[in-house]
Amino acid sequence: MIPQWIIEKKRDGEALSPEELKFFIEGYTKESIPDYQMAAMAMAIYFQGMTLDETATLTELMMNSGDLVDTSSIEQPKVDKHSTGGVGDKVSLLLAPLVACCGAAVPMISGRGLGITGGTLDKMESIPGYRVGLSDKEFVSVIKQCGCSMIGQTGQLAPADKKLYALRDVTATVPSIPLITASIMSKKLAEGIDGLVMDVKWGKGAFMKTYEDAQTLAKTIVEVGTRMNKGMAALITDMNQPLGRAAGNSVEVIESMAGLQGNGPDDLMEVTLELCARMLTLVNVVDSREEGLAELQKHIDSGAAFERFKQMVELHGGDPRVLDDWSKLPTAKIQSPFKAPRGGYIQAVSAEQVGRAVVLMGGGRSRTEDSVDHAVGITDIAKIGQAVQAGDPLLTIHANDEDKLAGAIELLEKAFTFSDEAVTPEALIKEVILPD
Ligand code: URA
């Protein structure tokens, strides 16, 4: 096969055959197809799109380009969740132990934060001693003991995606629904799961800025996963304001622990419990979403979910005592309230500005190789619809450096808008997408 003929076919809007896609993806992974031809192909896909058949084939080829985690010795049904990422999105920390308590296994391979969206691994590494780099054998062993494990990529997981994602990043071809679908799903399905629930975030603080794009991505992912015999569901959830009241690393661990103890913010709990209930129904651990919700609440009320998280932390080499005494988690030197410039109802809270303020203080990274400051962050974030008086605190900034604090304040000054009329926030869960 001749690479440029295949590029030409996609450029002109034709569907590629499984053999042509195989030739391209295998060639790119083995380096017989150079970056410049793959870049041209990615751009052709960006403009011409792909059929569902092509997207499913691409996903399978990328998944099989590297190692697959062998979870076959785990008896429970295996199910995971993936979020397209948002500010304050700490759902994974609550969801893994909750679902594990209900009898499903959660083999969660997560990523680090990049840009304004935080990453689960950075949050978990706020816990002293917690190791995200387990071998496959350790990963499976932790899951057998406590039902869940949260780690970073092991071995060579979907290497075709690793290469292609880096290339897309520098060739303006990231925002392509088929390419995003194949990228996300190739990594998630390599975990050896039976079911997956997607949390597609929509809004100003999300990857998907328009509702239509969020919907198309959710539908494409559900369809591709279903074709690969996985139980699938997707939620489209609002990311026009941060989720919960904390953004950062250590501060998000604290908010998650509060949630597992029954004291989480309403929005965080609503999204978490809905995702968990859907996971449980997908793999038939419960008969209905309602039964799932009741079961989950039981494990919060009894303290079992919190204990399960502590057990997982200990199995990863972390110190579970810090989860009982939060002052032992990384703590910033400065805590500064940020006050309302005027009274009224909060009309908007820019997740983007909040996320940027966290990155600027060192809590996120702008390049993959940057390290993060686990202690800095923002807490007590006021929510859309809340009534405030001038001078009331809108949030608390946790900083380690006066200059960075000043920079964060400058960004946060653009984060809030106010209305004199009462404001009703958007529904948090906009839509649930199930297979046709
Ligand atoms: N996240 C991924 O893993 N891949 C994409 O293409 C976009 C977001």
- DSSP assignment of 21-78 equals HHHHHHHHHHTSS-HHHHHHHHHHHHHH---HHHHHHHHHHHHTTS-----TT--S-B
Q: What is the rounded CA–CA span in Å between residue 153 and residue 136? A: 10
For the cut 90, the answer to whether the pLDDT of residue 366 exceeds it is: no
**3-49 domain in CATH 3.40.50.720?**
no
Ligand 1 contact via 111 beta carbon (within 6 Å): no
Candidates 81, 123, 187, 219; catalytic one: 187
Least-confidence region, from 16-25, 105-114, 397-406: 105-114
52 pLDDT band, cuts 50/70/90, is very high
More confident residue, 391 or 426: 391
Q: Which fold has domain 79-154+168-324?
A: Pyrimidine Nucleoside Phosphorylase; Chain A, domain 2 (3.40.1030)
Candidates 183, 250, 256, 350; catalytic one: 183
Q: What is the pLDDT of residue 374?
A: 97
Candidates 80, 89, 122, 161; catalytic one: 161
94 pLDDT band, cuts 50/70/90, is very high
What is the percent of the chain with per-residue pLDDT over 70, rounded to a whole number? 100
Q: What is the pLDDT of residue 32?
A: 96
* Cβ-Cβ contacts under 8 Å for 31 (sequence gap 6 or more): none
358 within 8 A of 376, measured Cβ to Cβ: yes
Superfamily for domain range 331-419: Pyrimidine nucleoside phosphorylase-like, C-terminal domain (3.90.1170.30)
- SS3 of the chain: helix, strand, coil, percent, to 5: 45, 15, 40
> Cα(56) to centroid of ligand 1, in Å?
16
Q: What are the structural domain ranges in the chain?
A: 3-49, 79-154+168-324, 331-419
207 pLDDT band, cuts 50/70/90, is confident
Q: What is the pLDDT of residue 373?
A: 96
For the cut 90, the answer to whether the pLDDT of residue 60 exceeds it is: yes
370 pLDDT band, cuts 50/70/90, is confident
Mean per-residue pLDDT for 30-45? 97
Q: What is the rounded CA–CA span in Å between residue 88 and residue 379? A: 10
What is the percent of the chain with per-residue pLDDT over 90, rounded to a whole number? 89
328 within 8 A of 375, measured Cβ to Cβ: no
Residue 292 is encoded by which pair of tokens?
């799932």
Q: What is the pLDDT of residue 13?
A: 97
- Total Cβ atoms within 10 A of residue 261: 14
Write down the mean pLDDT value for the chain: 95
57 pLDDT band, cuts 50/70/90, is very high
161 within 8 A of 187, measured Cβ to Cβ: yes
Ligand 1 contact via 110 beta carbon (within 6 Å): no
Q: What is the rounded CA–CA span in Å between residue 415 and residue 418? A: 10
413 pLDDT band, cuts 50/70/90, is very high
For the cut 80, the answer to whether the pLDDT of residue 266 exceeds it is: yes
Q: What is the rounded CA–CA span in Å between residue 24 and residue 6? A: 8
Q: What is the pLDDT of residue 111?
A: 84
Ligand 1 contact via 184 beta carbon (within 6 Å): yes
Q: Which of 117, 121, 153, 165 to mutate to test the pocket of ligand 1 (most atoms within 8 A of CB)?
A: 165
128 pLDDT band, cuts 50/70/90, is very high
154 pLDDT band, cuts 50/70/90, is confident
113 pLDDT band, cuts 50/70/90, is confident
Question: DSSP assignment of 261-311, as one string?
Answer: TT---HHHHHHHHHHHHHHHHHTTSSSSHHHHHHHHHHHHHTSHHHHHHHH
Q: What is the rounded CA–CA span in Å between residue 415 and residue 204? A: 12
346 within 8 A of 423, measured Cβ to Cβ: yes
Q: Is the pTM of this model over 0.85?
A: yes
